[in-house]
Chain A
Amino acid sequence: MISQLTPGERQLALVLSICLAAVGGFLAIVGKDDIIAVHGLMVSAVAYLLVFIIGIEFFKPSPSPRRIEKYYDDPTKAGIVLALVWGIVGMGVGDWVAWLLVFPEATFDAGWASFGRLRPVHTTGVIFGFGGNALIATSLHVMQRTCRTRLPDQLSPWVVLVGYNVFCLLAVTGYMLGITASKEYAEPEWYADLFLTVIWVSYLILYLRTLRRREEPHIYVANWYFLSFIVVVAILHVINNLAIPVSLGHAKSYSLFSGVQDAMTQWWYGHNAVAFFLTTGFLGMLYYFLPVRAGRPIFSYRLSIISFWGITFLYMWVGSHHLHYTALPNWVQTLGMTFSIILVVPSWASAGNALLTLNGAWHKVRDDATLRFMMVAAVFYGLSTFEGSFMAIRPVNSLSHYTDWTVGHVHSGVLGWVAMITFGSIYTLVPWLWKKKAMYSNALVELHFWLALIGTLIYVFAMWNSGVIQGLMWRAYNENGALAYSFIESVEAMKPYYAARAVGGLFFLTGVMVCFYNVLKTIRMQDDATVVPERPPLLVAAPASAE
């Protein structure tokens, strides 16, 4: 992979790696009395590994000048494999903590194995590790194809991909060491946040440079979605993580916000992470891979435009629905609730646009598990966005809030929508990228589909049940006008559902393992010369070859 870089890019890569090693070393020295030193050493170790990898191939001959006739797909390939590895780790830990709720004593009396530390390992592992890598990988692929241009250089995608994974590694190891900023989905501490900011801005610049080089006059809607994902996540990340560290040598930092402002900032971030990380990014994926796989035109160009602007505009308002019936002023709650209600329309318009695109291709949905993954994803996208808007209505929220219903809602979104669209995209993409006729085994894709669907259904039905039961038990009064149940009784009532949920999760996890096996086997298959990944052909005549 290093031999694909030009000598200049190799030098720059070496310099960047040495800088990273120096930053890690600096943290290890100034933080020698704090846990941050562990992370400093870890960053240094990763950086030296990079130096080593670059060093091995540093003096290899320059890559062929004809490389510009092909799209640059190596980072996409690495991203797909990384996404699956993170998927298995993240979902594995997820199922582990699910069992922990059934058998709460299974923590070995060790801090790292407690629910509070492992749960963010799960959420970060799946959202940022699995989802993030899949988004970076597919976005690099989609923007090259739909802009009909090659990535502007070969180093920056690697900076983005490697840097992003270093961030994920810092995050999950930090949680187990007890390092956390205590903000849900934004738990990493200040130094990891700063590092991610640099990486994310590089991603944005890479994306914009590629767009500027495009050979297509119009920007395809998938790129609009990917771009909104990159831009808004940058804004969210920077604002929510504004904090003052105790010192350069301490992992701990204190948020710039306090009290209800802190809560509002956090849930403005939290809900828009759902919107712009888990929704618009994956809609970008859907808008490319679904029509390609189905071989059908998008149902309506206009619908995709109003959905895009509807989602982008409305989501920004709705974070306060996470804070109904709290110290947050009532008027902010009303705003969040009402915009949430309107939000269901563009969400359903997107899901509808996807499903109507399948008109004329339903026989393919029946026969092709890959396309079926994407169809089911669109259905769950519709279901969970309707559910989300419904739960944002204050009286509904008074029943659902703080219960497992929320957990069920989130997982109907992430298992049913986010993960399913990712699997569909991966199965579409992997044979192209590695020049194979098809996946190693279609039967295994089929098996994965059913494992994923059954797992998701068991999971969300278990959580809907337990959530509604919890909510009802908490508000039940006896004839004396006093609360009927103690909290521990509601916990006891959850046990069968928690066991069912863990079993559902196990189904889903098994599916991802099957997927990983299938992908690895596909990669090792004999190349098929008839597969041309350079589709559409790159226009290398005038501007690109001038480089």
Chain B
Amino acid sequence: MNPLYGRERIIGYSLMALAVAMIVGPFLWIFMNSLKYQVAIYTGAWVFTPTFSNYMDVLFSRRSDFAHNVRNSLIVAGVSTTLVLVIGTLAAYSLHRFRWAAWISTGFLGWTLVFHTIPVMTLLGPWYVVFRQLGLYDTLTALIITHVTMNLPMTIWLMMSFLKDIPLELEEAAFVDGCRPLTAFWWITLRLAVPGLIAAGILAFIFSWKEFSIALNLTSRATATVPVAVARFAQQHEVQHAQMAAAAMIATVPAIILMFLGQRFVVRGLTLGAVK
């Protein structure tokens, strides 16, 4: 767009700096509080001696299960991301590459849109009943299955959009050279779709890591994930503010890491469909 000049540019930069400060500021403030003793939080001190005792307490004290919650979250997010990438990429490839009857492809994609739209809370009632019947209630397996399903629509749409950019001629050339459908997919298309896999993988991992309402209702103490544990810190009768701040910061870490590592991919994934 047409750039700003002179005084307008200075005002523009000031407003942008203000917006960035308003977004980043609260993170810095809670980080500062996570380094304070409870007393320093109560007095609202700006000058204090930083301490890591809150992080130590949250992660390693005997009264806290938080390290266990981190382990649960990493298992659920890791396994569900792997599964959704396999299932979602295969489905996206099938819909993109092969000729399906219109009622199947439209019906399938339409249902993913409907499922993505309806509140997950409405399905939690039936999930609760069925998982209890199957003996899967309060297991990481139930959480993995539901997280895979939750991330499936996004993964399929994202992979289809990336697959569209890969020229079909490459596979056709491979067929001439004697490739078969599966080998062409494995050795050619999948390799070229790696940026899409990274984008979908990062987003699926983050969405699973931060998912709250399913984890809240299908787990108990032993299987709770990080967001559920963080919420417990905030819901106690006597809120331990310092530990709550530390737990919230730990819950934020994967987002910060992936934001710096995969920014390009994340932006494309999040803004998908809006630009075209």
A and B pair up: no
Interface residues of A (CB under 8 A from B): none
